[in-house]
Amino acid sequence: MSQGIKQFILCVLMALSLFSVAASAEGIKLKSADLERVDGDWLLNATFQIELTPGLEDAVQKGVVLYFQTEFDVTRSRWYWFDEKPALAQRLTRLSYQPMTQQYRIASEGFTFSAKTMFEALQAVGSIGGWRVIDGNQIDPSKSYTAALRMTLDLAKLPKPFQVNALNNRDWNVSSDWLRFPFLPNGPNVIKR
């Protein structure tokens, strides 16, 4: 193999490795989560790091509203039947851009927040505090459970033309992995990554 071909292959491999690092930086990652007991109920506090692709950021700037779905569930394995799911909670957070005020608006469960930059807006979307996910009477304190948590971009809430684009473009499929962790009703329940 000639020296020129070796250099070309090396350049292509370096470019691909840089592209894969850049591509893996985008998406949703869970940074921390904890469940705290307050008045017999369990409240979730979590922090997600959200990084949108340039295409999604551009879509928000042009008026497309993004909806982020956060899902939490608790299961208990049973050897004699299907797994028990005593608790399931979902939360929808809306992210939009207001060109008149040049601010981003975040809305979730009656809470509204404005941000000047996309970075601040995504931090607000990814911060969950005091979300009641388990009623005290839904679980048996003497048993152990598995809790699961994730956040996704809800493609079904996009305008129809963008839904078609999202199906054909993986840049629009933004989601965290499910994080599953043991939930002990009488123990500490803190996850840090």
The answer as to whether 164 is a domain residue is: yes
Q: What is the 3-state secondary structure (H, E, C) of 177-193?
A: CCEEEEECCCCCCEEEC
Note down the domain range covering 182: 28-192
Q: pLDDT 10s digit of each residue in the chain, 193 long?
A: 544 433 333 333 333 333 333 344 579 999 999 999 898 899 999 999 999 999 899 999 999 999 999 999 999 887 788 888 899 999 999 999 999 999 999 999 888 999 999 999 999 999 999 999 999 888 888 888 999 999 999 988 888 777 766 667 777 788 999 999 888 887 666 665 5
The answer as to whether 2 is a domain residue is: no
The answer as to whether 39 is a domain residue is: yes
What's the structural domain count of the chain? 1
Total-model pTM: 0.80
The answer as to whether 11 is a domain residue is: no
Instruction: Please state the φ and ψ torsions of residue 100, each to the nearest 5 degrees.
Output: -65, -45
The answer as to whether 10 is a domain residue is: no
The answer as to whether 3 is a domain residue is: no
Instruction: Give me Rg for the CA atoms of the chain.
Output: 21
**Whole-number Å distance between alpha carbons of 6 and 3:** 5
The answer as to whether 52 is a domain residue is: yes
